Amino acid sequence: MTINLNNIKISNKNPFVLIAGPCVVENRKMIFHTAQQIKKITSELKIPFIFKASFKKANRTSVVSFSGLGDEALNILSDVKKEFDLPILTDIHSPEDINQVKDFADIIQIPAFLCRQTELLIAAGNSKKIVNIKKGQFLAPEDMEYVSGKIKATGNNKILLTERGASFGYHNLVVDMKGLVIMKDLNYPVVMDATHSVQIPSDGEKSGGNPKFILPLAKAAIAIGISSLFLEVHPEPSKALSDAASQLPLSELKKLLIEVQKIDKAVKNY
């Protein structure tokens, strides 16, 4: 299946699409800077680019964790779309969120913890937007047939399936690369989230991470032949207000993309 988004063709056979940006909208200056720099890099490398950032975080580890800027975050994402002519992906956590993001979001994302919430999935399908479903850390890849089926039941086939690691005991995630093949067999574009996959869930009052594994996971996934690479990218990850331990430094993005693109070209012969 190929999903068309403006001039971007998202499929497991086309050149990979980059979905990237900070975990959450922290402030206008950082978001604009990151979007501008990623667009510059992807334009140079001729990699299709979709900007991502959450307008709010509804599933933080601690009650004191940063959860968002409210309406200001929505305005910032809308302005990024206009200023840089970029497609936008953002999360939703309830059916009501769809009305807040529908005017600027090109892709609405179902967080992994919510991927079996039937009302949320049906509302997302009824929006007629492209829907990116994060596979829950607790689900087998073949279970995504039933998750995606809830959206398909609304008549919406514009579905992306994203791998983001599976729980391996407590406080650890692993990526079973066979899962990418299994999800490809469901005939939807498959996405690899190489940053959430290196998280250490609930490391005290926040999530930890092992970012040194971002590149190896990205390369391995791209070698399988998938549609998209999902990366949370931040100018200064150590200062990030969410997922500080697992975001890729913006300064390292170009090098990673060059290495990944070589593999993608070899696999897909373009």
User: What are the CA-CA distances from residue 124 to residues 132, 190, 214, 233 (Å)?
Assistant: 10, 18, 29, 26
Measure the CA dihedral 7/102/239/232, to 10°: -40
pLDDT-derived band at 61, boundaries 50, 70, 90: low
Give residue 65's pLDDT. Answer: 63
Q: Residue 210's pLDDT is what?
A: 82
pLDDT at residue number 171: 86
CATH of the domain at 112: 3.20.20.70
Distance, CA of 125 to CA of 187 (rounded, Å): 17
- Candidate from 21-30, 86-95, 208-217, 256-265 with smallest mean pLDDT: 208-217
Query: Tens digits of per-residue pLDDT, 124-141?
Result: 999 999 999 999 999 999
Nearest-angstrom CA–CA distance, 77 and 89: 9
Q: What is the structure's pLDDT at 209?
A: 78
Q: Are 32 and 86 in contact (CB under 8 A)?
A: no
How much of the chain exceeds pLDDT 90, in percent? 86
pLDDT at position 248 is 97
What are 154-196's pLDDT values in tens digits? 999 999 999 999 999 888 899 999 999 999 999 999 999 999 9
What's the CA gap between 55 and 89, in Å, rounded? 10
Mean pLDDT of 109-117: 97
- Predicted pLDDT of residue 70: 84
Whole-number pLDDT of residue 200: 84
Indicate the pLDDT class of residue 252, thresholds 50, 70 and 90: very high
Report, as an integer, the average pLDDT of 246-255: 97
**Residue 60: is its pLDDT beyond 60?**
no
Rounded to whole angstroms, how far apart are CA atoms 201 and 92?
21
Tally of domains in the chain? 1
- Domain of 37? 3-268
User: pLDDT of 189-220, one tens digit each?
Assistant: 999 999 999 988 776 666 777 899 999 999 99
What does the alpha-carbon distance between residue 107 and residue 43 come to, in Å, rounded to a whole number? 21
Question: What pLDDT is attached to residue 201?
Answer: 79
